[in-house]
Amino acid sequence: MEKKETVKKPITMAEAKEILEKINLEEADQIQKRTIDYLAKFTKVSLKIATKIKERLIKELGLTEEEAIEVTNILPSSLGEMNTIIAGWRKIFSTEKKKLILNIINEEKKKGE
């Protein structure tokens, strides 16, 4: 039997939600059902807004894709929340850069309303 090569790629919660919503719930296994339920409760923005935030964070501020996805999933609303996220990356960001991240999030969320 030929083995399929699996490609792992980080995605936002909004992307995961979009993918899993295409699954027939009657055919979904327990993990898929729980994941769909979790994403329905905790995904904060639409796929369109999440994608735009992620793309801007990468392009305008030079965040890695993984960093941009983490910020997009959490959608911090304060410098304190940004500090908590960044602490896990073991990087130092200027206060100005953190404010720019928050501005991008707020701008895109307002556009989507």
Per-residue pLDDT tens digits for 58-108:
999 999 999 999 999 999 999 999 999 999 998 899 999 999 999 999 999
- Spell out the domains of the chain, with CATH numbers in brackets: 47-112 (1.10.150)
Q: How far is CA 78 from each of CA 30, 36, 55, 75, 81, rounded to the nearest angstrom?
A: 36, 28, 21, 9, 5
Dump pLDDT digits (tens) for 10-49. Answer: 999 999 999 999 998 888 899 999 999 999 999 999 999 9
Query: In whole angstroms, what is the distance from residue 84 CA to residue 79 CA?
Result: 9
- Give the pLDDT score at 32: 92
Q: Is the confidence at residue 3, as pLDDT, over 80?
A: no
- Give the pLDDT score at 4: 78
Contact 61, 100 (CB under 8 A): yes
Query: In whole angstroms, what is the distance from residue 79 CA to residue 100 CA?
Result: 11
